[in-house]
Structure 1
Amino acid sequence: MAAITTKAIVFSAIKYGDTSLIVKCFTLEEGVKTYMIKGVLKAKKGKLKAAYFQPLTQLLLTANHNNKGTLNSIREAQVSYLYETIHTSVIKQTIVLFIAEILSSIIQEEEKNESLFNYIETSLIWLDTHNSIANFHLLFLLNLSRYLGFYPDTSNQHGTAFNLLEGNFTLSTHEKSTVIGENFLLFKRLLGTNFDAIHTISFNKTERQIVLKIIIQYFELHLEGFKKPKSLDVLETVFS
């Protein structure tokens, strides 16, 4: 079994027994992989530390990938980008847990997806190095839809509503799953924005919740089996 060295982003870590973790990572080279890391919770020494496997930690792994649907193992790991503010900010920490939960539920493929990996990686570094981050999760999810193949079609600029099912602007405002009126205008403000312009969008608490609910509904309609994240309530509490 040949070892592979790859960048990886931790999606989740579940305790297994008293001392071990089952860790799900999104790797640059081979997509989603799940690892059994034995004894890591009691190890004082050793190459692997439990702290490496916090949600969305960026790692450089040397791992054995057996590709038989069984758990893989990690030989070595080191943090490839050390967050400076994410672990000290309650708001950033909450955003990270929320995003990790969503990514873990929707990204399942065991195949390389370099552009998606790079998007997640650079977005997290942006989050770590900026302060105006109240709308980060909204833009992160909306732009994530581009890599999942259902980013809104904004070509019909005259549309006065947004059809969540079709993913486009429309003039018919009475159909089911259509965002209209004030909510449509709020949602539209986010479209076409990048992270560096995010501070120009000022949503209040209520507006932010409205836009997030629209995006979650959009994901539910376009991703089979997508469930509303459990961490949504925590996120709303932190921003209230």
Structure 2
Amino acid sequence: MELLAGTVDAVREVAAQLVARHRDEPARAVTLAEAAEVFDALDGPASALLRGRLTALRPGARWLEDELAARVPADGEWWVCDATDGAVQYLHGLPHWAVTATLVRDGEPVLAVVHAPYLDATYTAEPGGGARLNGRGVRPQRRELAAAVAATAQPPLVGQDPVAVRRAGESLGAVLPWVLAVRNLGPTAVQVAQVGSGHLSLFWEYGSDAGNLLPGALVAREAGALVTDAAGAPWTASSSSFVAAAPSLHQDLLALLREVS
């Protein structure tokens, strides 16, 4: 519990720093290179602060340098963190971004914190301890498929994977006619965690995106959601697809995704 509490404090400190620098208007960046320069100036100090705080809490854990990593090491303890999860939204003056920190042991998440400051939402989870939102326990909500709000996203480097691009498009067409709405509400980790708290009913994604999926996956699973790949097998950090759903809707979503080649 001390490690979890310390991680929450560290994540909130970083978020407060980023909130202080956040602007309502979009960044004045015309090209991708200009946007990256603006972002690096913000994210660099925030990432350094987060790394320092978490290293002090767990000196023996190593640090995954690439926050957009599609894979995570299978051995040892690693911090997998994103000081600005939802960088696109942050740069465009939108509120849908978060700070995430996940401790991974031998390829499995053992602690997760997802803090979205403008949503006033802090999700936490540890294996066997359930999931919490702002300190209270959460569970998925039971709904009919026609009343479900679904969400989806694409990995940051999805453009490098034409199969994932095709499946993302096909899956949207497969799911959209059957649910109340499909949304992409910003940070992947927050959306997956929101399945655990019942704010969303379903989430799916194609492509390798372990760094973004790990924290939300632990929150959703500990809350009682079912977390698998699109074929229904247990999701791991090396999986190439991802599904999180309320138990009552999991099989419905898998059935819809069977249309995807």
Structures share fold, TM-score greater than 0.5: no
Question: Which of these two proteins has the greater Rg computed from alpha carbons?
Answer: 1
For normalisation by structure 2, the TM-score amounts to 0.27
